[in-house]
Chains A and B, each alone.
Chain A
């Protein structure tokens, strides 16, 4: 590994200062489960690594206020998967967090790191998309909220500005009954990166939100407002046609060794159909606003 300077700011102001002076030679470090791998294989060679875990505003805290659940950027997957409020209102996020890596990884991997790394396969991204999450970004010029659907650009690239960091992720608490689920495809049952990762949310009004990753340069949200997917009476062909349309934007890479584009597309359809079914069951079985 190339040697680098390590900085662990205790305040946002210190962090901004380091980021400003270091510029593009800086890299932020949270759990390090993405970053360390890149440092070791030499594909990233920053001269300064800035550890964000001591910045109070990014603390691993999950709090409920003003109609939303706010998750501090450095909250790790195992905390998210275990949190009662996340499990009650945002079960797809809890399910996604619970399948990231293995236990050791989940004890390190942060939600902020998962989205800022911006892998198309990031497992929490589809859930955040169907729940309409907002990313709270902060820079020396102040903070702003970025809707998650405007956050991802392509692998490794987000709409964060230089010098900005993610402080928290906000999830609006549901105002009506919903059912949701996260599903994914991997090459084995043990920990693996997803070849399709997908979340689905159906609400009592019949709107179905499907978000999917690992089938294109960035995770995508697609919404069915026609009510067909959520309609128990609609036949398989009709639902299939709607799914086909929602998935039309999927563009899996032909160069991947994890799965062929045909297989990813086919699995997107299978997972999509299964996810809608599970989300509908969950909607029917509870999921009252609370």
Chain B
């Protein structure tokens, strides 16, 4: 059966995705649609003095110019963690690119033209766009303290402080203490599909289209803002063309919905690439790590202080800070730990979730510091890691899920693939690092599966397939359990009026959580088939089992469809199964819930450095992940490779560049560099460890972020071995490597 779990059938929907047949939000045409364009100011922060829309309104084809004054008052605010973000700027813009108005017109050109003609009189205000700037006691406040009642940090730019720890760091003796500060750049998701939003009045409710990861969450946000029952807000979420966390939460959907209601016509807004830079990004960070070692290489303590620079509105950024820094000590036995992390507001693009969810920043610092310790102790970097690595079942974070994999197998495999310890040609070096990420801490997924009269199957699942291949995995599970060939399975997603509730598509959760819900729904059908078979055979159900598409009767087995057809009888019909998967939270837990699974990865790099130019050539890049069970090995590999290359972006070249007053200078594809196919490692090897020890279907674990987590430290480790230079600031651009070599290079 081609859909069997563990096989790598052709991706469901893959052909359409690569041939242009797939309809993304921007491809959907609605009659009478208006095209929207945002009006923004060319500065980081400004007081809005007045807005004159008269010239814009005179542009032929313009139907609506919306400012905050046209919105319900007080202007609605929203956000997944804090309801701080206004639909349009109220009185003040807080970051470069924040819209003060929006135009809707019959054509895109008319909207663009009119947007330019909206005259905004404004006074530029002092802004903060660095960690130091934001923490300066004299710094202007990014958020109005009135928005944060009862918050004793409200008079600062620190949104929150997170503290986790165990043992007594101060009292712990160490033979060697290594302390350094590391920096991680501000980067953006750069999904190939830009964010796109559309809304249309829909009877007594509203229909909204968005390339969103969490349609149900968006539905609730819109229902709250519009004062509508959930049932009157229909969110269509066509498969996004890449999201990487940047499309988790509402951005301009509330604005577009309010515009559509006001114009009484459908409105669409498709962001330009430049505008996506101003809509979502990853938090930059500055991390001080103090690591205590015993002389035998075991850890005495980790003391980590991580400052993350988030944007002007919180979005999900503070959760990123808390959850991302939480496993900061890594997958190691650490007797005493103290991790403090701060989310610091600034007048910049609101940062949000991004593959790795805050973990890559701390990983870069801590893994690099471990290398520094190994060097000082004269212990091999691989051996030191293996020495400290938590083994299966060890409660390495004392109050959380114990180590849930044979992680040493992963590390050994990566070391083997990179040829760790074998002689190196001159000018080359190797690096190795491990990464860990906490999986989901709560979750709720429902699935409905319909087994139709001919044995074909429809799966209804609220997961968003943004390229990770969720459709294929869910279809494989249904195919496997119900015995339908894979091309007889349809997966319906992305419509809140049709598919049951799913909390979200994030944290590499869908294979585990939605996978289990689909499995549960299939089991529901299987139990109905079993009852059917018992009725048809006139025997007790306990004599019958149904599994992997077949009905096991006493003495013989038949395909499910052979029971289904006679069982349904002359009227036909179908069997409907419902499934549910819950991961309850725990209010006493620092993250609000224990970790469903860990993503574990080991990355090893061999690099060559041109000492004259600072160029780094990655000769070999090895990534190995613990995936429990690869339901589709090819997709696992593709996710690992994608994450690995994305990790090379922030490691080698990506970063926002600001001018002296907080404007982003490198908006767009010309001066913001992401890796191209020509920048790939000469050899990219990915492998996986499968012990069927995960909580997902058939022992699977979530995966798709792991291979990004520790790329930076592995590359920097290789550069160090190749050249002797230590760099603690990303990205490792040729110029930065060259400069470090010029300066003698020991950081």
Contacts and interface: CB of A to CB of B under 8 A. Distances in A.
A270 B676 contact: no
B735 A190 contact: no
B676 A187 contact: no
Nearest to A264: B735
Given A2-B113, A267-B613, A188 B670 contact: no
Contacts of A257: 657, 665-666, 671
B677 A190 contact: yes
A187 B673 contact: yes
A260 B653 CA distance: 15
Nearest to B665: A257
B673 A263 contact: no
A249 B739 CA distance: 23
Contacts of B665: 257
Contacts of A263: 735, 738-739
A1 interface: yes
Nearest to A189: B678
A270 B610 CA distance: 11
Contacts of A267: 613
Tell me whether chain A's interface is mostly helix, strand or loop, or mixed.
loop
A28 B665 CA distance: 28
A190 B679 contact: yes
A272 B106 CA distance: 55
A110 to B, nearest CB: 20
Interface in B719-747: 733-735, 738-739
A2 B117 CA distance: 12
Nearest to B667: A41
Contacts of B612: 270
B675 interface: yes
A189 B679 contact: yes
A258 B673 CA distance: 10
A191 B676 CA distance: 8
Nearest to B668: A41
Nearest to A3: B109
B744 to A, nearest CB: 16
A188 B665 CA distance: 19
Nearest to B110: A3
Interface in B616-665: 652-653, 657, 665
Contacts of A59: none
A193 interface: yes
Tell me whether chain B's interface is mostly helix, strand or loop, or mixed.
helix
Given A190-B677, A258-B671, A185 B113 contact: no
A266 interface: yes
A260 B614 CA distance: 14
Nearest to A273: B612
B112 A192 contact: no
Contacts of A1: 109, 112
Contacts of A189: 676, 678-679
A259 interface: yes
Nearest to A102: B676
A251 B652 CA distance: 27
Interface string A160-202: 0000000000000000000000000101111111000000000
Nearest to A1: B109
A280 to B, nearest CB: 18
A5 to B, nearest CB: 14
A191 B652 CA distance: 15
B735 A193 contact: no
A51 B308 CA distance: 50
Contact of B735 (A42, A188, A191, A260): A260
A236 to B, nearest CB: 13
Contact of A187 (B109, B653, B677): B653
A149 B612 CA distance: 30
A266 B677 CA distance: 28
A1 B733 CA distance: 34
Nearest to A260: B735
Contacts of B653: 187-188
A185 B675 contact: no
A259 B613 CA distance: 12
Nearest to B657: A257
A187 B734 contact: yes
Nearest to B676: A190
Given A257-B665, A263-B739, A270-B613, A188 B675 contact: yes
Contact of A188 (B116, B666, B679): B679
Given A257-B665, A259-B735, A270-B613, A188 B109 contact: no
Contacts of B734: 185, 187
Contacts of B735: 259-260, 263
Contacts of A192: 673
A193 B671 CA distance: 9
B18 to A, nearest CB: 17
A188 B657 contact: no
Interface string B92-119: 0000000000000000010011001000
Contacts of A260: 735
Interface in B259-299: none
Nearest to B617: A189
Contacts of A191: 676, 678
A185 B671 contact: no
A253 to B, nearest CB: 13
A119 to B, nearest CB: 12
Contacts of B652: 188
A141 B552 CA distance: 93
A88 to B, nearest CB: 27
A185 B610 CA distance: 13
A196 to B, nearest CB: 10
Contacts of B676: 102, 188-191
Contacts of B112: 1
A133 B162 CA distance: 65
Contacts of B739: 263
B270 to A, nearest CB: 14
17 contacts: A1-B112, A185-B613, A185-B734, A187-B734, A188-B652, A188-B675, A189-B679, A190-B675, A190-B676, A190-B678, A191-B676, A257-B657, A257-B666, A260-B735, A263-B738, A263-B739, A266-B738
The 4 closest A-B pairs by CB, nearest first: A190-B676, A190-B678, A189-B678, A263-B735
Interface of B: 109, 112-113, 116, 612-613, 652-653, 657, 665-666, 670-671, 673, 675-679, 733-735, 738-739
Given A259-B735, A267-B613, 15 more contacts: A1-B109, A42-B116, A185-B734, A187-B673, A187-B733, A187-B734, A188-B653, A188-B675, A188-B676, A188-B679, A190-B676, A257-B666, A260-B735, A263-B735, A270-B612
